[in-house]
Structure 1
Amino acid sequence: MKKKIILLSGLATSLLLSGCLDVTEPQRMYYVDGLGIDYKDGQYEIYLQLINFSNVEKSETSNPQAVPAEVGQSKGKTLEEALFKLFRSIDQKVFWGHMTYIIFSEEAMKNKNAISVIDSVLRYRETRYQIWTYCTQDSIKDILLITPILNKSLTSSKLSTPLDTDDQETFVEPVNFRNLVIGLNEPNHEIGIPYVTINKNWETAEERGQDTALTGVGVLSKDGFKGFIKNDAARGTQWMHNRTHRGEITFKLGDNETDYLTTTLEKIKVDIKPLVKNDQVTFEVVVKLNATLNGFKTNVSEEEIKKQIIKEVKKEIRTTYEEALAKDIDIYRLSEHLYRKNVKVWKKLEQDGKIPLTPSSISKLEIDVNQVNSGRKTFTGTINE
């Protein structure tokens, strides 16, 4: 009787264990970290970045000679066809659950090509809404092959973890797939995607290195691509939302052509109020912020600093707004502000989700500098002249 009980117990245990036989062991899979999408000659051209997790382990066990990643390339009439062609040259299962970002070329965002890709990626069961989204005019393959500074793991790169440097400067707001879908589905049906360039500011004793930099936005709408706003022309975007942690303003002091001051701006709070009069809509914008001085060449008053900060922030907000209007872009999502606060008027004025905007649509732009922290006890210089 005891033998029968032992036999039945062993049989039950083996049946329970057999449920794991179809699970692929982690070391027998390839892991996707980044995906690049281009569109040429009527075909999707994809770049699949497979990451080497041996460099993600503890430094005592990692292999410094290991290749950080490999990038595969394939073409197809659809994203799925291109991927299946690439699978033919891959010798282990590919896992998509760790994919952290996707990059679109300019051509891939035109003519609704990106919309098709977004839909395909989100329909797959292993992908998530936390995937970061970028665009570029540089070589996608070169971007995917860049190793972060000091040979850090690719999982620590700026593209994989854009929030890690957010407290240093929020020049461009990161956008994930969740933000992307919401932005395209709701008024104004446009969203600015961070624009990536290859940066060559770093080097070692042996060679000059490369890293990625976020230097603007590419604006995608549900109807296709609307254009890029880059470098200084994009600076106004950081002052027009509450998610900016930190930024800088540099301005000239007095009439001296070489006397400049840089201030750090923090605790940005933005209030946008739509005003309706005779079916005409204008917007009053109030931006509140704090400023910190890290160093300056000459004695300067707090009032003078506030005056210059207000002047420069206004200038940058206006410059970006007018640059966007020239491309028919509602860069500050003013249409959405009207939609949220007065949907009746929005329904009357909207055209495909957007309301007509002009340079004078921002009727009031007020910048309030709550406080200026000198970083010291006074606003006098450290060294006496």
Structure 2
Amino acid sequence: MKKILLVIVISSQLFFMSGCWGAKEIQNQSYVTGVGIDYVKGNFIVYIQALNFSNIAKQEGTSSLQQSSPSLVGEAKGKTIQAALSKLEQKVPLPLYYGHVKTILLSENVIKKQMNSVIEYIGQNPLLRYNCWFFGTKHDIKKILRGESFFNYPSLYTIIYNPKDLINNNFFIPIEKYNKFISTYYQPVGTQIIPSVEMNKSYFSEDEKKKNITAITGGFVISQQQYKGWVNKEKLVGLKWFSKQATTIPLSLFNEKVSVIVQKPKRMIKVVNGYKPAYHLIIKANAVLVQNEKDININKIKKELEKKIKSELLKTIGESAEIKADLLNLSEKTYRYHLKKWDVSTINSSDKRSIEQIKVKIHIEQNINYKR
């Protein structure tokens, strides 16, 4: 009897281990990696970019330099975002799977008029994760999704899918994931910036063919759930001095004859008491001198570097006044730690005259060491 029971137990285990019922083969689904959303004349136009992961897997090794991976872009129109997607889902030969969406790309019209619809859609779709990247564009979404990468790598290696290395090595403006955006969207103070992208053929080519590369151009500014406008990245240069993400900041001085790298700057915002809050901004950092073509005196370089950092902060502060938005998010600290002193309307009434002092102190740590 014991032997019979043992045979039954072993047989049942083999039965359940024989396979996963209902499991889908990887090549039998279209994996959506990016969703683009536009809004024109009362209709949403939704774009999806999908990849087949079995094709990406084949690109390991030298073959990735010879044959590009196909990328599928779909487009449909509807009165709601989901209605447009449903039309696409009804036409595809392979089911669409949204669990691997890495990027959401919005048009300027959507950012201006339909952010609540986007937030509602993301919140209701169980497969869309909150850790996807968030971008905007003034240009054709379909062209952005078809942007090229280097060496025939798939679009997963473009900036809209993989901006992390750019943030770490050459910070332009904050590139945030959706969870960071939504965590501050309903705050009564501060701003959110959605990075804007466009295509650029000016800098790279392969075999004399210009590469259509996606590039950061600026940001769409939102404050208190209201669209404030688009700002060129040249006017957002001061953001890096108060971003924890910016740990290595290259700068050029004296008509690019001198190059330095500012490392791990320490930032401080001091809130000063008054009838409304005022601010002292303090930047301290070490810098490495990597080029000094004219052998300029170190003290002169130090003064020029401090002057440049201060001018970058003033440029962004001036733009804050222009569009009536707190681009440096100075009010956020006041709101979090000093709400008993001032109410929200007083905190938001601060302007560029509220910046009482900007103090920059840089120590140039070492001079150029030539290889021997």
Normalised by the size of structure 2, how large is the TM-score? Answer: 0.90
Instruction: Tell me whether 1:147 sits opposite 2:144 in the alignment.
Output: no
Partner of 2:56: 55
Note the 1:88-237 alignment, pairs <5 A.
88-111=90-113, 113-188=114-189, 190-200=191-201, 201-237=203-239
CA contact (8 A) 2:146 2:155 kept: no
Note the 1:317-332 alignment, pairs <5 A.
317-332=313-328
2:250 counterpart SS class: strand
Distance 1:371 1:142, change over 3 A: same
Instruction: Tell me whether 1:276 sits opposite 2:267 in the alignment.
Output: no
- The 2-side partners of 1:376 and 1:14 are apart by 67
CA contact (8 A) 2:198 2:215 kept: yes
- The 2-side partners of 1:106 and 1:289 are apart by 37
2:168 counterpart SS class: coil
Partner of 2:83: 81
Note the 1:32-51 alignment, pairs <5 A.
32-51=32-51
CA contact (8 A) 2:34 2:49 kept: yes
2:363 is matched by which residue type in structure 1? N
Distance 1:339 1:222, change over 3 A: closer
Per-residue CA deviation, residues 102-148 of structure 1 (Å, 9 max, x unaligned), is: 1111101012x123212312332222121010111121111100121
1:24 is matched by which residue type in structure 2? K
2:49 is matched by which residue type in structure 1? Q
Partner of 1:295: 291
- The 1-side partners of 2:86 and 2:291 are apart by 57
Structure 2 counterpart of 1:307, from 286, 303, 314: 303
- The 2-side partners of 1:177 and 1:294 are apart by 36
- The 2-side partners of 1:123 and 1:294 are apart by 50
Structure 1 counterpart of 2:247, from 245, 248, 256: 245
CA contact (8 A) 1:235 1:316 kept: yes
* Alignment size in residue pairs: 368
How large is the RMSD of aligned CA atoms in angstroms? 2.5
Per-residue CA deviation, residues 221-269 of structure 1 (Å, 9 max, x unaligned), is: 45332111113111111112222022232232xxxxx674232222122
Normalised by the size of structure 1, how large is the TM-score? Answer: 0.87
Instruction: Tell me whether 1:367 sits opposite 2:363 in the alignment.
Output: no
- The 2-side partners of 1:94 and 1:63 are apart by 28
**Mean Cα deviation higher: 366-375 or 200-209:** 366-375
Distance 1:64 1:3, change over 3 A: farther
CA contact (8 A) 1:104 1:114 kept: no
- The 1-side partners of 2:65 and 2:308 are apart by 49
Unpaired runs of at least 5, structure 2: none
Structure 1 counterpart of 2:339, from 331, 338, 343: 343
CA contact (8 A) 1:38 1:46 kept: yes
Deviation at 1:324, TM superposition (A): 2.2
**Mean Cα deviation higher: 16-25 or 231-240:** 16-25
Deviation at 1:86, TM superposition (A): 1.0
CA contact (8 A) 1:99 1:131 kept: yes
- The 1-side partners of 2:229 and 2:41 are apart by 21
Distance 1:259 1:244, change over 3 A: closer
Partner of 2:351: 358
Partner of 1:70: 72
Distance 1:265 1:115, change over 3 A: farther
Deviation at 1:193, TM superposition (A): 1.4
2:339 is matched by which residue type in structure 1? V
- The 1-side partners of 2:99 and 2:210 are apart by 34
1:49 is matched by which residue type in structure 2? Q
CA contact (8 A) 1:35 1:47 kept: yes
2:207 counterpart SS class: coil
2:328 counterpart SS class: coil
Distance 1:158 1:11, change over 3 A: same
- The 2-side partners of 1:27 and 1:301 are apart by 63
1:224 is matched by which residue type in structure 2? Q
Deviation at 1:294, TM superposition (A): 1.8
